[in-house]
Amino acid sequence: MNCLKTFLTLVSATLLMTTPLYAEPSEAISEAETAEASETAEGFNAAEFLFGHVGDAYEYHITEINGKPIAVPLLVIVRSAERGWFAFSSAKLEHGHEYKGFFIPTSGDYKGKVVELNAAGQRVRPFDMSITKNVFGLLLSCAILLTIFLLMARAYKKNPLGVPNKGQSMMEAVIIYLQDDIIRPALGDKSAKFSPYLLTVFFFILLNNLMGLVPIFPFGANLTGNLAVTMVLALFTYFITNIFGTKTYWKDIFWPDVPVFLKTPVLPLMQIIEFISTLTKPIALMIRLFANIFAGHIIIMVLISLIFIFSAAFPAVSTQVGSGTAVLSVAFSVFMYCLEFLVAFIQAYVFTILSAIFIGLAQHEEHEHEEVPVKTE
The reported pLDDT for the residue numbered 185 is: 92
Average pLDDT, the chain: 81
Q: Is the dihedral of CA 101, 104, 106, 107 positive or negative?
A: positive
Nearest to 290 by CA among 240, 330, 350: 350
The torsion region of residue 278 among left (phi > 0), alpha (psi -120 to 50) and beta comes to: alpha
Asked if the model's pLDDT at residue 25 lies above 60, the reply is no
CA nearest to 324, candidates 307, 309, 342: 307
Domain ranges for the chain: 20-131, 134-361
Tell me the DSSP string of 178-202. Answer: HIIIIIHHHHGGGHHHHHHHHHHHH
Name, in order, each residue with C-beta under 8 angstroms of 192's C-beta and a sequence gap of 6 or more: none
pLDDT tens readout for residues 178-230? 999 999 999 988 888 999 999 999 999 999 999 998 888 888 888 999 999 99
Across the range 244-262, mean pLDDT stands at 80
pLDDT at 345: 94
Residue 48 and residue 65 in contact, taking contact as beta carbons nearer than 8 Å: no
pLDDT at res. 14 = 55
For residue 32, the model assigns a pLDDT of 42
